[in-house]
């Protein structure tokens, strides 16, 4: 049996039920289970997807940051993808969490590989995708908190287009790009939908690679629904809140963002179902590693502070010039690699502050978070310091996290020969534990 994993990041049961349903009607049977992450502490996708991929919770895999090196963990708790490769099965990955590390190592064992948007390098399989991936990485970083309307200036867009068209004959996403550009001319506020368009482009590549290589296991990860839920939950579900927070005009303006994001996800499922219906040896597993729900009393934001020149920022904090390399992260988290002395000194600096927080550290890298509503760094003794390299950016849609992570998610399966999931994989309340999913996949693949 072959398996396609559609990783719908952070989509909860409520959203799936409302905009898609809990079954797939077609040539084969489907089944549905609510899931729960048993990870401890703060839940983030780079934690909860590691739990699914490795079959153990974060108490064991200890992967708590983007681009965290995992050589030791790889030996103790290899991913399902690595297990498949070790058993001689073929694997293809597109955008899935922690695949940036695979790109950095230039791993060539995969049938196809388009690494996540947090990748430090543009390495892809096939190599002809690298121009498109460079575009993808630059656009993702330019739109990490607010969507940029600009285009990368140091890329030849004709080369990017050729890189894309060479690897797919699907035009759905290209048409969506043109509709988006025209739509923004009349309704500038819909620029927030560019994140979904970016996902559409990558999905078209994934489907074409899937059809060409037909691997035993493949995965496609998308964050477009999650980003809409974080920002626009109140717009779609205003009555979830005890007290209305956003204005009625704002709610009216953005009420369709989550439904439209799920409409796109529904299209992905439709395409993959059609692919599976032509075969008798492939199953579709659609899942989220956790979910989201509304945040009561959240505070809409009109701006945020963003570190745009890390070298200047760290140099001003340490009061000496430093050399470093910025590592991709998700705002308001930042990371860089440097020599041991710089990393150690910056850790000491962080511990002296009230509004900066250490996230993780190795000998040559460090990650930290800032309060992005404050320019100044406030020390424990209440001294105030204004660092260099940080600027104030406007948030046009005036949002913050109106919804946030919860441990509950879902698993929806469709295809031939689905095996009933044994009760030992569930909690007493009937939730499938996410760290049990890896063994279920391996059992279906017969490895």
Same domain, yes or no: 24 and 169: yes
Considering the domain boundaries, does residue 90 fall inside one?
A: yes
Of the candidates 420, 444, 446, 434, the one whose C-alpha atom is nearest the C-alpha of residue 54 is 434
Same domain, yes or no: 172 and 258: yes
Q: What is the mean pLDDT of residues 169-191?
A: 87
Considering the domain boundaries, does residue 285 fall inside one?
A: yes
Same domain, yes or no: 84 and 231: yes
Same domain, yes or no: 332 and 268: no
Residue ending a domain, choose from 394, 413, 437: 394
User: Which pLDDT band, with edges at 50, 70 and 90, does 145 fall under?
Assistant: low
pLDDT beyond 70 at 341: yes
Length of the chain: 447
* DSSP-derived secondary structure letter, 237: -
pLDDT beyond 60 at 148: no
Considering the domain boundaries, does residue 399 fall inside one?
A: no
In degrees and rounded to multiples of 5, residue 78 shows phi and psi of -65, 150
* DSSP-derived secondary structure letter, 420: P
Same domain, yes or no: 239 and 385: no
pLDDT beyond 90 at 8: yes
Considering the domain boundaries, does residue 96 fall inside one?
A: yes
User: Which pLDDT band, with edges at 50, 70 and 90, does 257 fall under?
Assistant: very high
pLDDT beyond 70 at 179: yes
pLDDT given at position 59: 96
The answer to whether the beta carbons of residues 253 and 189 sit under 8 Å apart is yes
d(CA 248, CA 446): 54
Instruction: Name the residue with higher pLDDT: 72 or 94.
Output: 94
Count structural domains, the chain: 2
Same domain, yes or no: 223 and 276: yes
Same domain, yes or no: 144 and 220: yes
Same domain, yes or no: 287 and 313: no
Q: 392-418: b or e for each residue (b if 16 or more CB lie within 10 Å)?
A: eeeeebbbbbbbbbbbbbbbbbbbeeb
In degrees and rounded to multiples of 5, residue 218 shows phi and psi of -140, 155
Considering the domain boundaries, does residue 278 fall inside one?
A: yes
Q: Which of 11-25, 97-111, 333-347, 404-418 has the lowest mean pLDDT?
A: 97-111
| pLDDT tens-digit readout, 288-304 | 999 999 999 999 988 99
Q: 202-222: b or e for each residue (b if 16 or more CB lie within 10 Å)?
A: bbbbbbebbeebbbbbbbbbb
pLDDT beyond 60 at 144: no
Q: Which domain holds residue 376?
A: 303-394
Same domain, yes or no: 326 and 257: no
pLDDT given at position 227: 94
Q: 120-133: b or e for each residue (b if 16 or more CB lie within 10 Å)?
A: bebbbbbeebbbbb
User: Which pLDDT band, with edges at 50, 70 and 90, does 177 fall under?
Assistant: confident
Same domain, yes or no: 169 and 248: yes
CATH number, domain at 183? 3.40.720
| pLDDT tens-digit readout, 225-256 | 999 999 999 999 999 999 999 999 999 999 99
Average pLDDT of the chain is 93
Q: What is the mean pLDDT of residues 123-127?
A: 97
- Type and span of the H or E element at 104: helix 99-104
Q: What is the mean pLDDT of residues 128-140?
A: 91
User: Which pLDDT band, with edges at 50, 70 and 90, does 120 fall under?
Assistant: confident
Same domain, yes or no: 245 and 310: no
Same domain, yes or no: 126 and 190: yes
């Amino acid at each position: 049996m072959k398996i396609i994993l559609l990783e719908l990041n952070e989509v909860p049961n409520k959203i799936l039920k409302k905009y898609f349903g809990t079954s797939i009607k077609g040539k084969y049977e489907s089944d549905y289970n609510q899931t729960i992450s048993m990870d401890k502490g703060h839940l983030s996708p780079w934690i909860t997807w590691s739990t699914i991929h490795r079959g153990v919770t974060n108490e064991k895999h200890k992967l708590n940051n983007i681009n965290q090196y995992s050589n030791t963990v790889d030996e103790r708790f290899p991913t399902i993808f690595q297990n498949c490769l070790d058993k001689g099965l073929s694997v293809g990955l597109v955008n899935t969490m922690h695949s940036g590390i695979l790109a950095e190592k230039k791993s060539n064992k995969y049938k196809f590989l388009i690494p996540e948007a947090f990748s430090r390098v543009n390495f892809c399989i096939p190599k002809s995708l690298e121009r498109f991936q460079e575009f993808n990485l630059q656009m993702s970083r330019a739109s990490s908190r607010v969507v940029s309307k600009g285009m990368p200036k140091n890329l030849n867009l004709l080369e990017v287009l050729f890189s894309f068209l060479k690897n797919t004959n699907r035009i759905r996403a290209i048409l969506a790009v043109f509709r988006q550009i025209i739509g923004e001319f009349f309704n500038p506020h819909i620029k927030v939908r560019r994140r979904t368009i970016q996902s559409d482009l990558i999905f078209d590549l994934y489907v074409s690679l899937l059809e060409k290589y037909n691997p035993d296991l493949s995965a496609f990860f998308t964050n477009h629904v999650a980003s809409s839920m974080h920002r626009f939950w109140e717009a779609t579900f205003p009555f979830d809140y005890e007290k209305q927070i956003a204005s009625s005009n704002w709610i009216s303006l953005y009420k369709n963002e989550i439904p439209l994001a799920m409409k796109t996800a529904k299209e992905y499922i439709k395409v993959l179902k059609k692919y599976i219906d032509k075969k008798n040896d492939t199953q579709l597993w659609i899942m989220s590693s956790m979910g989201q729900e509304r945040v009561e009393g959240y505070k809409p934001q009109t701006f945020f502070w963003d570190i745009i020149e890390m070298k200047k920022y760290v140099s001003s904090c340490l009061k000496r010039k430093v050399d470093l390399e910025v590592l991709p992260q998700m705002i308001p988290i930042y990371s860089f690699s440097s020599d041991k002395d710089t990393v150690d000194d910056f850790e000491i600096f962080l511990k002296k502050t009230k509004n900066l927080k250490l996230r993780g550290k190795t000998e040559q890298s460090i990650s930290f978070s800032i309060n992005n509503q404050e320019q100044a760094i406030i020390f424990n003794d209440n001294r105030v310091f204004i660092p260099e390299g940080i600027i104030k950016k406007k948030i046009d849609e005036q949002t913050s996290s109106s919804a946030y992570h919860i441990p509950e998610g879902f698993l929806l399966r469709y295809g031939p020969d689905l095996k009933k999931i044994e009760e030992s994989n569930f909690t007493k309340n009937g939730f499938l534990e996410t760290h049990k999913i890896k063994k279920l996949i391996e059992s279906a693949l017969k490895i």
